[in-house]
Amino acid sequence: MMRGRSAMERLLWLFALANLLLACLRLALLVAVPPADGQRMSTDLYERHEEVRLLAGGHYPRADILRAEGVGSTANTVYPPNAFPWLWLLSPFESFRLNQLWHGAWSLAALGVVLGYAFAVGAAFSGAAAVACLAAVLSMPAVFATFRAGQYGLILLALMLGSTLLLSRGRACQAGFLMGIALFKPTYAATMSVVFLRERRYAGLAVAGLVVAASLAGVCLWSGHGPLALVAATYPVGGMRFTGQGYSLVSLLAATGIPPQFASLLCAGAGLTGLFAALRFLDAPRDPLAVLALAGLAARISFYHRGYDDVLLIFLALACLRRWIAAPCWPSAAVALATLVSLQLPGRWLHPAPPGLVLTLFATWIGAAVFVVAEGSGKSMAPQPC
């Protein structure tokens, strides 16, 4: 047994070294290689920067509203109205360059939080396991794609992590406050509402609702439009055609001819229902990592997403890696390896993503989630034979 654990430790150090080298390579590419097709760095952040500047001038950044107000702009936000107080905090400067630096600082801090949690997951076993878990997260291409695109994925992950940890410690109201902030991008955080419902933490849900309502009210007062008008303008009947892009269950259904808006609602309902059912198999007290793994998976496949949103699967990868470290055998190794490899695919393979590849990825992730729940529910995470 000691020889087996010693060999496992050496394997974990090699795994960590390989992933750290891969992370260094990806960092060098991020710094040295310009964005493809002549696009600017932080394209998504630039769009949010322009939208926030319009709202700062009293103009809500939706095309119909801007045309009615005689404002010449191509802005047409896809974010919900309650997002803008938080988007302003993440893009508070008139200078886009300053906002790039500001976003980078927030994203680095959020990455530090996520890496710290990954390190703690592994540290329960050994130093080698701690470094291996940290390195596995750091090497994922979605992490670097988040910085390149100027996305908020890492910031949202940190909020979801904080909310889940607070909830597991019985601090539902504080957890609800963080979830309410994270709902500025509901395609990430909407699944957290199911976690609160499953735990019957209604006070936390109420706090989250108050945060969303207060954010929406502030935007309404500032822009001079009512809440129903803003929601109707942002999500018009027959709109949301952009959700048919990317790769998720929504894009697969949209490819069959189903209207993207209907496909979005159908997939969201199915994902939230499936998550509620899956959470029933986790023994109390809830394992925060398993909860985050399931919530992240449900969000990733049930809502519109692109490759950089694979950061949602960081917790699933960590849960698989933890299971392999706790019970090093062929099934746990195979599941961990398949999940980690699926999250290392180059972005050019995924834009556009062939339906066969998308289905293979989804099957891999769902299989990993089933394994985590089946193998981890009610079992000790201490090192054990398979």
Cβ neighbours around 238 below 10 Å, total: 9
Longest dimension (CA), the chain: 75
In this structure, what token pair is assigned to residue 143? 């992490």
pLDDT for res 319: 95
User: In whole angstroms, what is the distance from residue 211 CA to residue 137 CA?
Assistant: 31
CB distance 291 to 298 below 8 Å: no
Q: How far is CA 228 from CA 44, 231, 234, in A?
A: 26, 5, 10
278-330 pLDDT, tens digit per residue, is 888 876 447 899 999 999 999 999 988 778 889 999 999 999 999 999 888 88
pLDDT for res 4: 60
User: In whole angstroms, what is the distance from residue 264 CA to residue 225 CA?
Assistant: 26
In this structure, what token pair is assigned to residue 218? 């502030």
φ and ψ at 306, to 5 degrees? -120, 180
User: In whole angstroms, what is the distance from residue 263 CA to residue 269 CA?
Assistant: 10
Radius of gyration of the chain, Cα coordinates, nearest whole angstrom: 21
CB distance 142 to 309 below 8 Å: yes
pLDDT for res 8: 85
For the chain, which ranges sit under pLDDT 50?
1-2, 38, 284-285, 378, 380-386
pLDDT for res 31: 83
For residue 285, is the peptide bond before it cis, meaning its omega torsion is within 30 degrees of 0? yes
Which amino acid type is present at position 286? R
Of 180, 156, 184, 152, residue with least CA distance to 81: 184
Instruction: Give the DSSP H or E segment for 212.
Output: helix 202-223
- 3-state helix/strand/coil string of 131-149: HHHHHHHHCCHHHHHHHHH
The sign of the dihedral angle between the CA atoms of 79, 85, 87, 91 is positive
pLDDT for res 32: 80
Of 322, 299, 306, 300, residue with least CA distance to 379: 322
Q: How far is CA 316 from CA 11, 332, 369, in A?
A: 21, 13, 7
